[in-house]
Structure 1
Amino acid sequence: MQRYPMTPQGHAALEAELKQLKTIERPRITNAIAEAREHGDLKENAEYHAAREQQGLCEARIRDIEAKLGGAQVIDPTTLPQDGRVVFGVTVVLENVDDGEERRYQIVGDDEADFKLNKISVNSPIARGLIGKSEGDEAQIQTPSGLVAFEILEVLYQ
C-alpha cells in the first residue's frame, strides 16, 4: 500500500473535499443526468453527455481521495523532535547565498503543495535538497535556472 505523507491541515482539507463531492456534487450531477434524460433522445443530447462526463470525473476524484486518505500518513510537525533538522511538515527560512534574498517554504504533501502560498511538495527538488539538513547548513539545489546555493537560516516546527 502506498503511503501519502500529509500534514493535519492537508488531511482535513482532503476530508472536506471528499464530503463536498459526496454530499453536494454527486447529487447535483445525478439530478442533471435525470433532467437531461427527460429531454428525450440520449444520442444527441449534449447536456446528458456533459453530465455523464462530470459524473465520471467526480467519481474518479472521489476514488482518488479515498485512496489517499486510506494510505495517509499524517505527520504533525509540532510533535517531532525540534532539533533544527529539516523534515516533512516544517517551515524553512532560506537565504539565497548569491543574492541574499530570503524565502520561506513549508514542506508538505503533494496534494497540499501550492507555490503561491509557499507550500512546496516533499517531492520537489527544493524539498529533496533540504530534507535532512540542519539550521546553518548550506544546500546546493538544482533549479530550472541552474544550481542555487541556499543557507538554512531557521527551521520552524509550526
Structure 2
Amino acid sequence: MTQTSDNVTWLTQEAYNQLKAELEYLSGPARTEIATKIAAAREEGDLRENGGYHAAKEEQGKQELRVRQLTQLLENAKVGEAPAATGVIAPGMVVTIAFDGDEDDTLSFLMASREYASDEIETYSPQSPLGSGVNGHKVGETVEYELPNGKLASVKILEAKPYTG
C-alpha cells in the first residue's frame, strides 16, 4: 500500500520488502545479465546495424531508470500499517464505486501508487482523476470529479475496506 504526500511515500512493510527485493535484483543479477547480452551483441560486428545490441542497450536504459525510481522511492519511504476500516477512502483501501449512482455499473479498485499495481486488482493512484475525486470521502457519498477531457463524472462510494493483498 502506498500513499504519497510531499515526496514521502507511505508503504506497508510487505510493499517495502517487495520493492527492495526488486531493486536488489535489478542492481545485481539483472545488471550482469544485460551486460552479458550487450557484450554478446557487440561481438556480432557493426554496431550501427546490430538490432540485438540496440535492443539490449534499450533494455539496459529501462532497467537503470527503474533502479533510479526505486532508489528514490525507497529513500523517501515511510513504512507503516495499512489504513483502518473507517469507511473513509485512503490509499491502501479497496474501493467499490457505482458510476452515476447505477449499482449495476460498478468498479472495485485498489487506491495505491503504480508501484503496487498487480494483475489481481485494478489500481488507481491517489493523484489520478478518480483517486483524487474519492480520496478522503466516505462510504455512501456521491462524488463528482473531473475527467482528463474536462467533463465531470459522478460516482457513488459503495464500499471501502483495507487491502489485504
TM-score normalised per structure 2: 0.73
Q: Is the CA contact 1:94–1:154 (under 8 Å) kept in the aligned structure 2?
A: yes
Q: Distance in 1 between matches of 2:48 and 2:100?
A: 63
Residue correspondence of structure 1 range 1-158 to structure 2 within 5 A? 2-39=7-44, 46-77=51-82, 80-100=83-103, 101-113=105-117, 117-143=121-147, 146-158=151-163
Gaps (5+ residues) in structure 2?
Answer: 1-5
Look up the equivalent residue of 2:122 and give its one-letter code: N
Q: Distance in 1 between matches of 2:57 and 2:39?
A: 10
Gaps (5+ residues) in structure 1?
Answer: none
Q: Distance in 2 between matches of 1:92 and 1:43?
A: 51
Q: Distance in 1 between matches of 2:77 and 2:94?
A: 20
Aligned-residue Cα RMSD (Å) equals 3.0
Aligned length: 156
Q: Is the CA contact 1:140–1:149 (under 8 Å) kept in the aligned structure 2?
A: yes
Q: Is the CA contact 1:86–1:132 (under 8 Å) kept in the aligned structure 2?
A: yes
TM-score normalised per structure 1: 0.76
> 1:96-138 CA distances to partner (integer Å, 9 max, x unpaired)?
3443322212100133346982211111111111111112211
Cα 1:86–1:140 change in 2 (3 A) is same
Q: Distance in 1 between matches of 2:96 and 2:45?
A: 61
> 1:65-84 CA distances to partner (integer Å, 9 max, x unpaired)?
1111111234532xx34322
Q: Is the CA contact 1:95–1:103 (under 8 Å) kept in the aligned structure 2?
A: yes
Q: Is the CA contact 1:106–1:118 (under 8 Å) kept in the aligned structure 2?
A: yes
Cα 1:68–1:61 change in 2 (3 A) is same
Look up the equivalent residue of 2:124 and give its one-letter code: I
